[in-house]
Amino acid sequence: MPEPAPDSSHISNLFKLDGKVALIIGGSRGLGASMALGLAQAGAATILCSRSQSDCDAGASAVHESTGMRSIGMAADATREDEIKRLFANVMDEFHQIDILINCAGINFRQTIENVPFEEFRRVMEVNVNATWLACHEIAPILKAQRSGSVINVGSALSEAALPERGAYCLSKAGLLGLTRVLALEWAPFNARCNILCPGPFLTEMNQPLLDNPAKAQLVVGQTAMNRWGEMHEIRGAALFLASAASSFVTGAALYVDGGWTAK
């Protein structure tokens, strides 16, 4: 049976994360850091994970100082099975629950297919696909034991659309869409949910190099109906919706926060 619904006498109660624990992989910078801050503002304790312990600690300190909520950093290479297993074990030892998982680690390599070295292609797959698969593999028994939880995989507008010189990236993000739907079906009997959040062009560290080429930058931004970059705070509301009881009947869904890219 589903968990009792929170008091819904006021809609804002559905968005509260009091008592929840959120693990954000790729959470020390960019969209992951912004989403971590948003979840903490809603009341969640947060664990920020990236490969660098100093980056994790700095990100967690910023979240705590801004919100007063508990936030800690735990470093791990999300592409390595042994480190992901250790990460989840450490989180469970510390918090005894994981209510929200955001898989936000990602990289890009921009070049036509004949100019992409296989090693670069494989690295994109390792970070964008393998890391998410490994994290979902580890959290599955936790969700089933808890009989609750929300997993948010971070895809892209390019999970559905395409751009030249994005073969590896488009493939990886489209793959996450399929994985998300499979996991939604597998976990539904256990009252656990899996959705994919698909951002459009945000001016993250990954996209900063585009500014060196205004024509390429406009090629990306011009795909949106709003004809602008997304601002970092604009990802938080969607993440909070998918993480919270407000989306309790939403699973296997793709939520595009893309300024109208996929509407065109």
Question: Is residue 169 annotated as a catalytic residue, yes or no?
Answer: yes
Q: What is the pLDDT of residue 161?
A: 94
Which segments within 7-149 are labelled E, that is strand?
Answer: 21-25, 45-49, 71-73, 100-103
**∠ at Cα 126 (260, 147), nearest 5°?**
75
Separation CA 54–CA 59 (nearest Å): 9
Phi/psi for 236 (5° steps) reads -70, -40
Tokens 């312990």: give the residue. 53
pTM for the structure as a whole: 0.93
Given 169, 229, 241, 261, which residue is catalytic? 169
Task: State both tokens at 246.
Answer: 């407000």
**pLDDT tens for each residue of the chain, 264 residues long:** 455 555 666 898 999 999 999 999 999 999 999 999 999 999 999 999 999 999 999 999 999 999 999 999 999 999 999 999 999 999 999 999 999 999 999 999 989 999 999 999 999 999 999 999 999 999 999 999 999 999 999 999 999 999 899 999 999 999 999 999 999 999 999 999 999 999 999 988 777 777 778 888 888 889 999 999 999 999 999 999 999 999 999 999 999 999 999 998
| Inter-helix orientation angle 167-187/131-146, to 10° | 10
Say whether domain 11-203+233-257 belongs to CATH 3.40.50.720.
yes
| Phi, psi torsion values for 129, nearest 5 degrees | -110, -55
Domain ranges across the chain: 11-203+233-257
Nearest partner of 42 among 65, 62, 13, judged by Cα? 13
Side by side, the strands of the sheet bearing 45-49 are 71-73, 45-49, 21-25, 100-103, 150-154, 193-199, 254-257
Q: How far is CA 6 from CA 11, 14, 96, 113, 231, in A?
A: 10, 7, 21, 50, 31
* Burial profile 173-205: b = 16 or more Cβ within 10 angstroms, e = fewer: bbbbbebbbebbeebeebbbbbbbbbbbbbbbe
